[in-house]
Amino acid sequence: MPTTQPPAGARRESSAAPYDYLLDLDDTPAPYDYIVVGAGTAGSVIASRLTEDPAVRVLLVEAGSATALPEMAKPGYWPVLLGTAANWGEQTVEQSFTGTPLPLPRGRALGGSSSINGLNFVRGHRSSYDAWVEQGATGWGYDDLLPYFRRSETTQGRDPALRGTDGPMLVGPTLDPSPVIVAALAATRELGYPEAADVSGGVDVGFGLSDANASGGTRQSAADAYLRPVLDRPNLVVVTDTMVNRLSIVDGVCLGIEYTAAGKRTKVVARKEVILTAGAIGSAQLLMVSGVGPAEHLRDLGIDVVRDLPGVGSNLHDHPMSTVVYESAAAMPETPDNIFGQGVGLIHSERALGGPDLQLLLISKPYRAHTLDGPAYDNGSGYSIAFSAMLPFSRGTVRLASPDAGVGPLIDPNYLGDVRDEVVMAEGLRVARAIGEADALAEWRGAEAQPGRPLPDAESVRDYLRESLVVYFHYAGTCRVGTDELAVVDPELRVRGISGLRVADASIMPSPVSANTNATVFAIAERAAALIAA
């Protein structure tokens, strides 16, 4: 099991700084080469890959527990996890579109959100990665990332030029999909939508069965695939239940971190680099409490400005989601070994510009906003069709509520803040209802529970989008990669103006990818590990 009491300190001996940095020398261990902050998807991948070299010592620090909860194993139990300590339990600030705050799940455990999410393992369409390059993220297009997508996964029966065959993640579609999902996929063909050869591969448009990070009916998180198998490496130390308070930055060099574990505040040093993998919320927060971020905001909170980087915490984006919910006319089988969103479609809305921008998720449960009524989750009495604007224009922020890293930040995804996103979501609602009313679903279709009423005009559609909005928890973009003044990291993922510090997680995405984000984070982390080790 991971160590729970981190070592007291270390000595920095690195050519990156013209001096040694000495901290808490009692019981000093041999120094770490790298400190990785956050043992979610990206942190699990990077720590595992770097320690393949036995000469490299890595400290991996995680705020959550080392113990996997029993509910993590079964794909069908994931909503239960949102009410546990494996979720940070935050919410957004009041959203201008809904007039309310929304729950904001994110993982707090080994494996991070890959341990509590809905398990869809899907790449965005290649066009959404090539858009990154157009924004200055040289080396981060689809073809650049393809070897790292492939490196992360093992698939069967797919094009090996596109899909991996020997990676740690065992991914594939549900082997025994729900009959209502089979019927829903037939409904999409009835409406004339193409059947995708591999909807999870990043090059197809249309509908098909979604890949999942599950094998043999059991969730495989990033920690399961990358981290737990290598915990006995002598050059890897994993500490859990540990809050990182701030980065130690002196004269423009990140020397290490300060953290609290078991009530004790301690400092530890990295000889080479600190790598932030705390996600779009956590990495931005940690930079800001350490004095790296928008100077005016930091000064307002009494934080000494180490580096004025106005892009830190800006450019937050997530995929807005709503659902159409049906009661089932026949009893549906209960399949806790299966994911909910077994079918997925990626299509062009009428206003799509460069690539497909609308996702439809075919869900074997009556998934909906918690404020709405409808059939129960646990008795096979309903199903749903979700729709999501995959390339939203809306951008939000992460800002500090306090200079204390233990106080949750102010998170504003600004869902549907741009009217163009509302237009795409309205089209998604129309498509979802058309699928739900197709003849192929007649055997299963009971009453429409949500919306459950006519929506005759734009205002009534807008009202339903307000009441049905749910968080997809695909947060990204707050430390974006690029070369302009609002970029936080350069194309090598080095924080601009700070030596010895990188960010390598979903926060570096300049713009949204047209899919659930977890598969992309694996690829980002795989490429980051290669860059760091080079």
* Total-model pTM: 0.94
d(CA 340, CA 75): 8
Give me the residues paired with residue 248 across strands: 256
Q: Do residues 199 and 212 touch, judged by C-beta distance below 8 A? A: no
pLDDT of residue 216: 87
pLDDT of residue 22: 29
Spatial CB neighbours of 351, under 8 Å, sequence gap ≥ 6: 357, 420, 423, 424, 427
| Cα Rg of the chain, angstroms | 23
188, two tokens: 């999409």
Which helix (H) or strand (E) covers residue 328, if one does? strand 320-328
**In degrees to the nearest 10, what's the CA dihedral of 518, 520, 526, 531?**
-130
Please give the DSSP secondary-structure letter assigned to residue 226.
I
Paired strand residues for 58? 34, 236
Query: What's the confidence (pLDDT) of residue 329?
Result: 95
Q: Rounded to whole angstroms, how far apart are CA atoms 87 and 194?
A: 37
Q: What residue spans define the domains of the chain? A: 1-169+219-319+394-415+474-534, 172-212+321-389+419-468
Render 229-288 in DSSP notation, one character per residue: GGTT-TTEEEE-SEEEEEEEEETTEEEEEEEEETTEEEEEEEEEEEEE-SHHHHHHHHHH
Transcribe 62-78 into DSSP letters.
-SSBSSPPGGGTSGGGH
The DSSP call for residue 227 is: I
Residues 413-449, buried b or exposed e (16+ Cβ, 10 A)? Answer: bbbbbbebbbbbbbbbbebbbbbbebebbeebbeebb
CATH topology match: 1-169+219-319+394-415+474-534 vs 172-212+321-389+419-468: no
Tokens of 317: 């984006």
Question: Which among 499, 35, 17 has a CA at the least distance from the CA of 274?
Answer: 35
Which residues of the chain fall below pLDDT 70? 1-30
Give the pairing of strands 382-389 and 358-363. Answer: antiparallel
User: Which residues are bridge partners to 42 per DSSP?
Assistant: none
Q: Does the 172-212+321-389+419-468 domain belong in CATH 3.30.410.40?
A: yes
Q: Can you name the residues that pair with 257 across neighbouring β-strands?
A: 247, 268
d(CA 273, CA 14): 10
Reported in sequence order, the residue ranges of 72-222 that DSSP labels E, i.e. its strands, are 90-91, 103-104, 153-154, 169-170, 172-173, 206-209, 211-212, 214-215, 218-219
Residue 387, H or E segment: strand 382-389
3-state secondary structure of 107: strand
Q: Residue 534 CB: number of other CB atoms within 10 A?
A: 6
Res 30: pLDDT: 54
Supply the pLDDT for residue 10: 30
CB-CB neighbours of 159 under 10 Å: 11
Q: Which residues contact 361 (CB under 8 A, 6 or more apart)?
A: 120, 210, 321, 341, 343, 344, 345, 385, 386, 387, 388
CATH classification for the domain delimited by 1-169+219-319+394-415+474-534, as one of 2.160.10.10, 3.50.50.60, 3.40.1030.10, 3.90.1200.10: 3.50.50.60
In angstroms, the CA 431 to CA 449 distance is 17
CA torsion angle 326 331 335 340 (round to 10): -10
Task: Please identify every residue annotated as catalytic.
Answer: 474
Question: Are the beta carbons of 292 and 307 closer than 8 angstroms?
Answer: yes
Helix (H) or strand (E) holding 325: strand 320-328
Tokens of 509: 């995405």
User: Could you tell me the CA-to-CA distances from 201 to 45, 121, 317 in Å, in that order?
Assistant: 20, 9, 22
